[in-house]
Structure 1
Amino acid sequence: MRILIVLTSHDTLGDTGRKTGFYVSEAAHPWEVFTAAGHEVDVASVRGGVPPRDGDDPADPAQHRFLSGLGETPAVDTLDPLAYDAVFFAGGHGTMWDFPDNLALSRLTREIFESGGVVAAVCHGPSALAGVTLSDGSPLVSGRRVAAFTNEEEEAVGLTSVVPFLLADRLTAEGATHVPGPGFAAQVVVDGRLVTGQNPASARDAAEAVVGLLSEVRLGDMRA
């Protein structure tokens, strides 16, 4: 099956003077899980080009392999959503500025989900779900259980007053039930074909959950 990993194109951390981008392990570890499972994986970013990155660890072999193959990426608005069986939104603080209420991301998410695909996100990646409505006008997350970077974790990293909003609060305001785990420990919530993880420690488990759901879809196709 074919999976799309989406990265942020935003590189400025508010007015702090610091740089940000996608958090490398949150893309690299899922990429490793997906490719090991035999799936085809594409990587795109909001605006295309070489996406800004944050938090990379040169000692992590998975990150090294992922970054070695990462060059220019296509912009999301140039892609056909129906070419993908799943989309995975990697986190990083940059996502808080260019993922929410993004028309191209919303269209991609809605069309993949409504065509029977899997939508997944980790850490700040669930900000891509903010503002996404289904064809009936309801928010995608309404009535669903989700995980995302918690208010307590945002406070712990000292960025509560820097990010445009608190992610858990925004998802809750759109009708989601936010299900937090212990701070900075792995926490993954699966609600139907929606998979969300709380923080970097959750990235690999979230990807494994996506692989499991795609296996169920493939088995269902074989039985049909």
Structure 2
Amino acid sequence: MRQHYFLRALLGACLLFCMSAPAMAIATPGDTEQIRATLTDYMEGTANGEPARLRRAFHPDFNLYAVTEADTLLVRPGRKYIADIKPGNKINRIGRILSIDIDNNAASAKVQITMPNFRIYTDYFLLLKYEGGWKIVHKSYTWKEAPKNQNRVLFVTSNQHTYGNSRLNTANHFEEIVVAYDTFRKSGLAVDFVSPNGGAIPLGYIETSNKTQKDYLYDAAFMDLLQNTLKPGQINPDDYQAIYYSGGGAAMFGVADNPDIQRIALRIHDKGGVISAICHGTAGIVNLKNSAGASIFSGRKITGFPDLFENTAADYYKTFPFSIGKEIARQGGNFVHSKHFGDNFYVVDGNFITGQDPSSTETVARKVIDTIQKMR
């Protein structure tokens, strides 16, 4: 069983989900990055009250077009739009890029802006490349009402493509993402994805013979979420009732030591939310400490992928910054695990819900749902 698991891991990790322009595009990856930077200036400039970033993103003579509720055309000068952004005035907006389509020196893009408990906007942009850079020359939008008081779960993923500084490929565990996502969404919860750097994340451990995994692998809207994960700075922790750390070898790197993700998790915990993790995802919680410097899971039962199932003599393991079980114990937690892989082993201790390996993904998600429902 253990050898089968690692064979799957090694083969699955070779399939990485890399950000790229559509196949028909003529532009270079550098153009895609420049457009992403321009759209990020728009999203963050509006959300954080930074008119200078908006002036950097838009051509000075751009116009904004929309259809009003009275079915008339609204045309708004871009200069007025930017002038209405008050410096330093932060707005609770979650922005993410849905698509970028490039053809030579022209591009179209789509961005979703979620304002929890208010509206969900879809923004459409036309961009042109001139004088060595990309500028937005046109913006249109439409919107719909956002669900009121909808509970939200924040998925934490990793941008890491290799085991440490080695050339060994690693990835986020696809099953541990899609099974939990499917369970949460079917219960009515909203889900957002965050990673240390934002943007595309590597995916592996994929089984296309599994119907759920195959369905999501070919679901363009879902895959867009993983191609355009949010940056920690775009997250308002007060919007979430739970945080979920997914696993895979990538989860061992860049997550636990990220201060912005720590801040988000601690805020969710401090307001009574759920801290959950699966398999190697448990590595992400090891540095969560309260204001007194004590681990928030001190004295709690926690599980995750144990060294019992690792090949500790292998090169991949030697890149790990720590042993999950040993580090949880060192920080005051009570690390527990089953002696058998794949037996749906999980632990619920207060608002800490953790699973040992992929087999417990659905159960962990359901326990998170149960706990959130009791919070109402």
- Under a length normalisation based on structure 1, what TM-score does the superposition of the two structures give? 0.91
Residue of structure 2 equivalent to 1:123 = 279
Report SS of the residue matched to 2:311.
Answer: helix
Percent identity over the alignment is 27
Q: CA deviation at 1:157?
A: 9.3
Q: CA deviation at 1:164?
A: 2.0
Q: Is the 8 A contact 1:184 1:200 kept in 2?
A: no
Residue of structure 2 equivalent to 1:200 = 358
Q: Is the 8 A contact 1:146 1:176 kept in 2?
A: yes
Match of 1:55 among 194, 202, 205: 205
1:9-65 deviation line (CA, Å, top 9, x unaligned): 111123552211210011111001101111111122221111111111122232234
Q: 1:157 and 1:63, CA in 2 relative to 1: closer, same or farther beyond 3 A?
A: farther
Please give the alpha-carbon distance, in whole angstroms, between the structure 1 residues aligned to 2:216 and 2:192: 12
Q: Is the 8 A contact 1:101 1:132 kept in 2?
A: no
Please give the alpha-carbon distance, in whole angstroms, between the structure 1 residues aligned to 2:327 and 2:260: 19
Residue of structure 1 equivalent to 2:194 = 44
Which range is displaced more, 171-180 or 136-145?
Answer: 136-145
Q: Which of the two has greater strand per residue?
A: 2
Please give the alpha-carbon distance, in whole angstroms, between the structure 1 residues aligned to 2:214 and 2:313: 25
Q: CA deviation at 1:128?
A: 1.1
Letter in 2 for 1:210: V
Q: Is the 8 A contact 2:312 2:318 kept in 1?
A: no
Matches within 5 A, 1:102-117: 102-117=258-273
Q: CA deviation at 1:189?
A: 0.6
Match of 1:23 among 155, 163, 173: 173
Which range is displaced more, 108-117 or 8-17?
Answer: 8-17
How many residue pairs get aligned? The number is 218
Residue of structure 2 equivalent to 1:169 = 326
Matched, 1:179 2:332: no
Letter in 2 for 1:130: V
Matched, 1:12 2:170: no
Q: Quick one: higher RCO (CA 8 Å, sep 6+), 1 or 2?
A: 1
Letter in 2 for 1:70: M
Q: Which runs of 5+ in 2 are unaligned?
A: 1-150
Give RMSD over aligned pairs. 1.7
Match of 1:90 among 232, 240, 246: 246
Match of 1:2 among 138, 147, 152: 152
Matched, 1:143 2:299: yes
Q: Is the 8 A contact 2:184 2:190 kept in 1?
A: yes
Which range is displaced more, 19-28 or 60-69?
Answer: 60-69
Report SS of the residue matched to 1:170.
Answer: helix
1:166-205 deviation line (CA, Å, top 9, x unaligned): 1111111100001111232221111100111111111111
Matched, 1:70 2:223: yes
Q: Which runs of 5+ in 1 are unaligned?
A: 219-224
Match of 1:188 among 318, 323, 346: 346
Letter in 1 for 2:365: A
Letter in 2 for 1:7: T
Residue of structure 1 equivalent to 2:288 = 132
Which range is displaced more, 208-217 or 52-61?
Answer: 52-61
Matched, 1:154 2:310: yes
